[in-house]
Amino acid sequence: MNDRLHSPTEMGQIWQLTQHQSAEQPSGLALEETGHNPDQQARWDNELFLRKTFEQNADAGISLLFRQYYALLCSHAIRYVSSKAIAEDIVSDIFYEFHADLRYQSITTSYRAYLFTAVRNRAFDHVRAEMRHTTSLDKADSIAAHITQSPDSITQYEELYHDVENAINAMPLKRRQIYVMHRFEGKKYQEIADELHLSLRTIEAHIYQAMRQIQNTLKGKWLMILFVISQFYFLAT
């Protein structure tokens, strides 16, 4: 067996080589394998195949698992951290630990359920760390603990995410394009201005208007808005 471990950076390189295969993977984001549906048997067959692959060759197993779930897990993570780069780092770290720490040997749920839960929990760890920069330590720990321990809180958080997503989709095309480039692609104002051949002041105006639109959408929402606002209003200029 080849015992060389893939680092998080190498995981990203593997993804670049196999990205075209992601369209063939399941699209569901469920954390638990509950209920009866036509896809359930196929999902469990796939789980058994993955486990047998890990038993025979852990490197082959992690590569197969990575191809199947990397894109889905990044999409899941970005719902919480609102940054593509951070989401990719979180997912790559989870895969690396899954392999390097031999966690696949002790998982009692499905690999899929473990990965989605691990990514979500790591995203909340990131939330807690970021909130310490914008609020008091006690308040950050209190809010983050409430999120991670309460299923209702997770549901409310995801509802807020969809509210923000709807607000972005309702923006005029150019405003939406600029906002997505800034918040989800991590581009700075000047980079966007250069790429779109617009003035820096125009970019700033579009971002300001986009944030106002999101703020109006989130008025009167649940307390978790404190975090959402801190994420969407932090300008990395």
Residue 157: which pLDDT band, with cuts at 50, 70 and 90? Answer: low
Per-residue pLDDT for 228 more than 80?
Answer: no
pLDDT digits (tens, 9 = 90+) for 175-223: 988 988 887 777 888 989 999 999 988 988 888 888 888 777 766 554 4
User: 146: how many CB neighbours lie within 10 A of its CB?
Assistant: 13
Per-residue pLDDT for 147 more than 70?
Answer: no
- The pLDDT of residue 135: 45
- The pLDDT of residue 115: 92
* Contact status, residue 228 vs residue 218, Cβ threshold 8 Å: yes
Per-residue pLDDT for 112 more than 50?
Answer: yes
- The pLDDT of residue 130: 67
Quote the CA–CA distance of 67 and 91 in Å, as a whole number: 12
pLDDT digits (tens, 9 = 90+) for 67-85: 999 998 998 888 777 678 8
CB under 8 Å to 171, separation ≥6 — which residues? 179, 210, 213
Q: How many CA atoms lie within 13 A of 128 on its CB side?
A: 16
Per-residue pLDDT for 10 more than 60?
Answer: no
Domains of the chain: 8-20+41-123 (no CATH), 150-232 (1.10.10.10)
Higher per-residue confidence, 132 vs 115: 115
| Amino acid at site 59 | D
